[in-house]
Structure 1
């Protein structure tokens, strides 16, 4: 179910509850609290699913950008670790560009990928441009990656995304705290 469907169903439930002539005001509050809690739970799940999908896509793009898509055998893992260890010591973008050109010329993809990943970490654009010339899809992956929000960084997106998944409390519960509403939602309707 999407956000609009969850909200539409919730609003219908609240309208039925508030319009009922059968239940006491306390019973209506209990029913409304249960409906609110259920809808908020669905919204929380939906929000988390969206965040997980974005995280997954960002991870997938990062693997594509730096050549870590496939599972690797032990020899490849060792080669990657060795390349990453050697590249970690670099602190000069000119030297990194030179080493990247050498790696490309020699067909050493593992070293080229490690150099590009280091360059991305340190914002060495010249190195990344050289790598992009070597990896034709790199720019497309970078553009898509940069267009995706980072759900792990505090930003306007994380705030608005969080607020977009908040279920408003109905009028019948408007003067109650969230804790009180949660308590009502736990009550047995038979005793209400």
Structure 2
């Protein structure tokens, strides 16, 4: 009887050990699967909504992208930076961009890199049938390398004034304002001289 009890107790203990081992190994597998899933999880730029469209974006600049703004081509101003404080698109990182454009409009994009005080603007980006967009850097200028669903590719370059720094833009605005002032002053002077001439003529005729 005692022998039977000992064997039974031994069997129970063995089964508990085996069960414990199998559950531990299962837990480890689950944890690893979750970690892999997190690594493979693609982060997003912008907010998904019922009206939004999506694009696959890859950073191939060799630097971090710290500014990413979009707008519909007919709109005046870009959105706020879609990358929140502390967030940046690392080199070789993939993101899903969510954006909205008005009917018959195209997409305008603004991109800025870490440690640079200039941004690059791309106007009227046609996103029809686009499979993915690679953000690349050539000769200190950001480009968008677009791959269509049919396999064809195109490289989009930024608009001419977009690569200028904020300081350069301010200086240009100041110069333009000065030129406007000079033109206005000249116009005032010529109108005054014209009015004085007409007064002279009137006096002479009387």
TM value normalised by structure 2? 0.28
Radius of gyration: which is bigger? 2
TM value normalised by structure 1? 0.29
More strand by share: 2
- Structure number with higher relative contact order (C-alpha < 8 Å, ≥ 6 residues apart): 1
